[in-house]
Chains A and B, each alone.
Chain A
Amino acid sequence: MADLLQLILSGTATGAIYALCALGFTLLWQASGTINFAQGEFVMIPAFVMLFFINTAGLPLWVAFLLTCLVAMLLIATLGLSIGVKQLVKAGVTAQAMPFESPFPDGLLALGAMKVSYADVGTLLLAGLIVVGLQLFLNRTVTGRAMQAVAQNTDAAKVLGINVQRMVLYTFLINAVLAVVAALLVTPTYLAKFDMGESIGLKAFYAAIIGGFNQTRGALLGGVLVGVLENLMGAYVSPAYKEGVALMLFLIVIIFRPEGLLGKTEERKV
């Protein structure tokens, strides 16, 4: 039983990272109607930027994190990124996997019979904090509600004088910060590599669809579900199937509930 709980907890921690990335997908979709297929690269780039600040500039991790948030907001919000960025990093930086310092201490935390790594606990807490903060911002502030209004009905938002372009820009900025946090959490495990974005980007995309592309809470559910099931599949069936879990779940959801587990059917006038 302790093993199962341990696997679920550590899977939830991995899933929380997918969820952060998937949240970016859903926020951008809702605010601007675009699907950002370079979302994985949005995670990879901050990993390398943080490495630059830590290794070359000699800055501590938390300073590197804050500076990377600024850089990511500028890069992602103003320029956008394309799949070509992956090849640029490979050719211009390194094709090798680079080690990355974990923001959390090594070691295990004993919770009764269960032993959980500090990294998993820290990941869950940080991701949880980000998600709760984001929900509070979206629901408790006028700007957050205006962003929701733009996502739900852009034309009606314009009619009220809501600055739609600014709300879309805010969405890109939030997505940039989500990507940096995801990079901070995922890179110590997966290492900084030019193609690290492929896997996380694809899984986050599946997670967003599984949960419901038009619901931020759907992205959370999808992310956690993929993370937990991957862990259980790896432990109880075979590690060989672990990478296919997200795709299988995605196919099942698409066939039986195409709007996603928490998604709402949208009607569009054509």
Chain B
Amino acid sequence: MTAEKIIEFDKVVAGYSPSLTILNELSLDARKAEITLLIGPNGAGKSTVLKTLFGMLVPRLGEVRFEGKRVNGKSQRELLADGIAFVPQGRNLFGSLSVRHNLELGGITLPRGELSGRIEEVLARFPRIRERIDNQASTMSGGEQKQLEVGRALLLHPRVLLIDEPSIGLSPKLVQEVMTLLRQLADGGTTVLMVEQNVRTALKYANRALVLEMGRLALDRPASELLNDPDLNRLFLGGHVQKNVA
């Protein structure tokens, strides 16, 4: 049985300036409680999909829908309230603040009374963060920082987690840990939309893979099928793919 579509892009055109179009009438969807992996060559529009969904770019044309409702142009605060959280690429912590204060800022949109309980939940899930709770965030290792970023996003109990290149700068062991965590979240009902260059590893944990090319959907396949595709390397090194949208 196909899971319910929770995120939909319908012929979305978006870019960073009027003359720089990245998403080119892109249509795709992500399904509830699944990990949907976005892959493709550099410049294909993978990160732009996440930014457009999270209101950091406003589509010039087309419609972005969350649970069937149009969310084009909604602010980040509104989208967080709707249940969408975003962990962008790179380092996103506030280095001079403590780990606890970074977590607190992740829950800035929550009512004050709920925050300490939510922080406790995150600390229970990430014991390493609890050990470092009073340290400056900048003193944490790359893996700990990524855990903190994901934990901070989970404070709001998101129904959808957008995550961009979670494996960057992490050792293979830590990558496995992050992927396992994302799998657990999806199995618990959270929808994960992930951009990841470490394709082989990510495919092992994902349900579906969407290959983007020049801002369009070029391929939509179950992750397990794509993992065994002999042409996998060509797909994300920039070779053209035969149109095969499920």
Contact = CB atoms under 8 A, between A and B. Distances in A.
A160 B108 CA distance: 7
Interface in B82-96: 86-88, 92-96
**Chain A binding surface SS class:** helix
Interface in A143-157: 145-146, 148-149, 152-153, 155-157
A149 B95 CA distance: 9
Contacts of B93: 153, 156
B105 interface: yes
A191 interface: no
Contacts of A160: 80, 105-106, 108-109, 152
A8 B180 CA distance: 61
A159 B92 contact: yes
Interface in A161-183: 161-163
Given A142-B104, A142-B108, A158 B94 contact: no
- Range of interface residues on chain A? 10 to 19
B108 A153 contact: no
A159 B104 contact: no
B56 A148 contact: no
A158 B108 CA distance: 11
Contact of A153 (B76, B92, B101, B109): B92
Most buried by B among A142, A148, A158, A160: A160
Nearest to B81: A161
Nearest to B156: A161
**7 interchain residue pairs of minimum CB distance:** A156-B92, A161-B109, A161-B77, A161-B80, A149-B94, A152-B94, A159-B86
21 contacts: A142-B104, A146-B105, A148-B94, A148-B97, A152-B94, A152-B95, A152-B97, A153-B92, A155-B56, A155-B92, A156-B93, A159-B86, A159-B92, A160-B105, A160-B106, A160-B152, A161-B108, A161-B109, A162-B105, A162-B108, A163-B77
Given A149-B94, A160-B80, A162-B105, 10 more contacts: A142-B108, A145-B97, A146-B105, A148-B96, A152-B95, A156-B92, A159-B86, A161-B80, A161-B108, A162-B108
